[in-house]
Amino acid sequence: MSDSAADKIEAKRLSALPWLIFSSRWLQLPLYLGLIVAQVVYVVLFLRELWNLSGHAFDYTEQQIMLHVLGLIDVVMISNLLVMVIVGGYETFVSRLQLQGHPDQPEWLSHVNAGVLKVKLATAIIGISSIHLLKTFIEAGQIGMEGAKVTWDGVLWQTIIHMAFILSAIGIAWVDKLMNAMPVGKPKH
């Protein structure tokens, strides 16, 4: 090994405290593995709900089928959210996945960073909230009837919370845009 190569390796070695701090990112690995287990649970939930829907295809009303299909879409959107957190979070905070050139590499992964991940998560949460709100609006026709699952107060609060999600996502995207517009490098004098 040449002296310059040995010097580069020596320069990359960290002292004990920086090494410990930098290595602590691996403590997140069990968290991502736990989210993979949660993904498996969502697959089981999806299959159970699909089986239930298939078994009632001839006796459910159109509204009941629509509510079940919205439930399936909700499970898929939450599962998509899990994939974004698992793949994007691991790639951003733990270690590179080395997927360059892989035909199945998600397009968004090539430019993921903490800001992009936050915006993607916020928009995914809005999508999930939208599905729940749509289900609530469909069920709102039963308000006042015996056995109704929703109330006017519930519809109002769910709408307010949904709007808070939208405003939060706009705020996150705006802050991310401001951060990306800031010049990196030498401070201005």
List per-residue pLDDT tens for the chain, 189 residues long.
Answer: 555 555 555 556 778 888 888 889 999 999 999 999 999 999 999 999 999 999 999 999 888 898 899 999 999 999 988 988 898 888 888 888 887 878 887 777 777 777 778 888 888 899 999 998 988 888 887 787 787 788 888 889 999 999 999 999 999 889 888 887 877 665 555
Please report whether residue 1 resides in a domain: no
Instruction: Measure the CA–CA gap between 8 and 32, rounded to whole angstroms.
Output: 33
What are the Cα distances from residue 29, in Å, to 9, 58, 95, 120, 151?
A: 26, 46, 10, 21, 42
User: Residue 71 falls within a domain, yes or no?
Assistant: yes
Look at residue 115 and tell me if it is in a domain: yes
Distance CA 78, CA 125 (A): 8
d(CA 42, CA 76): 8
Cα–Cα dist 111/133, whole Å: 31
Does residue 20 form part of some domain? yes
- Tell whether 111 is covered by a domain: yes
In a domain, 9, yes or no: no
Domain count, the chain: 1
From the list 157, 89, 74, 73, the residue with the least C-alpha distance to 121 is 89
What's the chain's length in residues? Answer: 189
Please state, in angstroms and rounded to a whole number, the distance separating the CA atoms of residues 121 and 141: 31
Closest CA to 99 of 87, 85, 82: 87
End-to-end CA distance of the chain, in Å? 45
Q: What is the CA radius of gyration of the chain?
A: 23
Rounded Cα gap, residues 46 and 7, in angstroms: 55
Residue numbers of the domain that contains 82 = 15-181
- Say if 8 falls within a structural domain: no
Residue 54 domain-assigned (yes or no): yes
Does the pTM of the predicted model rise above 0.95? no
Q: What residues have CB less than 8 Å from 29, skipping those under 6 apart?
A: 90, 94
| Largest Cα–Cα separation, the chain | 83
